Chain A
Amino acid sequence: MHRFAKPSVFLKFTAPILPWLSALTVILIAAGLYFSLIGSPVDYQQGHTVRIMYIHVPAAWMGLFCYVGMAICGAMSLIWKHPLADICARATAPVGATFTALCLITGSLWGEPMWGTWWVWDARLTSMLILLFLYLGYMALVNAFDDPERGSKAGSALALVGAVNVPIVKFSVDWWNTLHQPASIVRMDGPAVDPSMQLPLALMILGFTCYYFVVLILRVRLELNERRIRALHLSGMFEDPETPTSAKEQAYEAGHNAGAKQ
């Protein structure tokens, strides 16, 4: 019983938050889009392409943020065997993978006009690509086992080992600075950015983060439903091994009639 206690608390807790969080996501992203496309100045060197930054940097942030969240959940799942931690990690992976892929795609679209190339095998780009593979590996691994417990163990271990990559992504531009051509380094984060560009950047980062939490809540519900379905199938088979799953409708009818007679 206590295994179900926490997920039910999660559901009760998040149900009233979800509509507000969804509205906040829409408002933040709408405002972010206005300021990134219309309400912000062009860069004196890059012209309009600086507008790609307003989705590229938030997507990169989400890729790392989701990975850290997934690794922490993985650790909690391994140490305390908490079912909700495992569910959150599984729910986070597709969102993180999506944003990491978007970061790479928008980075390419920014790199082609500004660097003159779609792709360079430099430390930052390569470590970001590894991050994407870690997400994909995690998702493949957790679903590769018939027993979900074994899948989550293997997946959590991968998520934790892969967490080494997060500081590598973060500091790659400092550690391997010499590999960059000075002209190609477009360092735009933090206080180096003009306040007029900080606003759309902050709005988009907050908007993307809210979007993640909305999708997280929905995916946790989805995962909880699927676990419940699995448990019901198992208990159903235990009770009556003669009834195949495909005969669900018939079972429903039969059960309904039996119930009515009593």
Chain B
Amino acid sequence: MSEFFSMGGYGGYIWASYGVTALAMIVLLIATLRGLRSSRIEREQLEAVLQSRRPRRTKKTQQAS
């Protein structure tokens, strides 16, 4: 097992490469999901405000998720 992690003495370089790649990809995904969530909440709040203010007006809007 320790042989696997040492990678013939190059373990540090190899695991650093894989680690930084995994970290960056996960951070980008989480940042995207969090931004998506907060933007969706804000959009829904605003839509609720406008909808309740102008109940009779037919709204031509698209449904963004």
In contact, B65 and A221 (Cβ under 8 angstroms): yes
Residues of the A chain whose Cβ atoms lie less than 8 Å from the Cβ of B28: 94-95, 98, 215
B62 in complex: contacting residue of A4, A56, A95, A215, CB < 8 Å: A4
Q: With A and B bound together, what is the CA distance between A5 and B64 in angstroms?
A: 11
Chain A residues touching B, range? 35 or more
A-B contact count (CB 8 A): 133
Interchain CA distance A226-B35 in the complex, whole Å:
10
Q: Decide if A129 is an interface residue (CB 8 Å cutoff).
A: no
Tell whether, in the assembled complex, residue B14 and residue A251 are in contact, meaning their CB atoms are under 8 Å apart: no
Q: Which residues of A contact B61 (CB under 8 A)?
A: 4, 228
Whether the Cβ atoms of B17 and A101 lie closer than 8 Å is no
Contacts of A235 in B (CB 8 A): 50
- Shortest CB–CB separation between residue A103 and chain B, in angstroms? 10
B40, B46, B48, B64 interface centre (most CB from chain A within 10 Å): B64
Q: Give A188 Cβ to nearest chain B Cβ, in Å.
A: 15
Please tell me if the beta carbons of B10 and A113 are within 8 angstroms of each other in the complex: yes
- Chain B nearest CB from A116 CB (Å) reads 13
Pick the contact of A229 from B7, B33, B46, B48 — CB < 8 Å? B46
| Other-chain contact of B40, A11, A94, A225, A239 (Cβ < 8 Å) | A225
Complex partner residue of B14 from A33, A49, A101, A218, CB under 8 angstroms? A49
Q: Is B63 an interface residue (CB 8 A)?
A: yes
Segment touching B, from A68-76, A142-150, A252-260: A252-260
Give every chain A residue within 8 A of B39 (Cβ-Cβ): 222, 225-226, 229
Chain B residues 1 to 36 lying within 8 A of chain A, measured CB to CB, are: 4, 7-11, 13-14, 16-18, 20-21, 24-25, 28-29, 32-33, 35-36
The reply to whether B21 and A59 form a contact with Cβ atoms under 8 Å apart is yes
Q: Which residues of B contact A (CB under 8 A)?
A: 4, 7-11, 13-14, 16-18, 20-21, 24-25, 28-29, 32-33, 35-36, 39-40, 42-43, 45-50, 52-55, 60-65
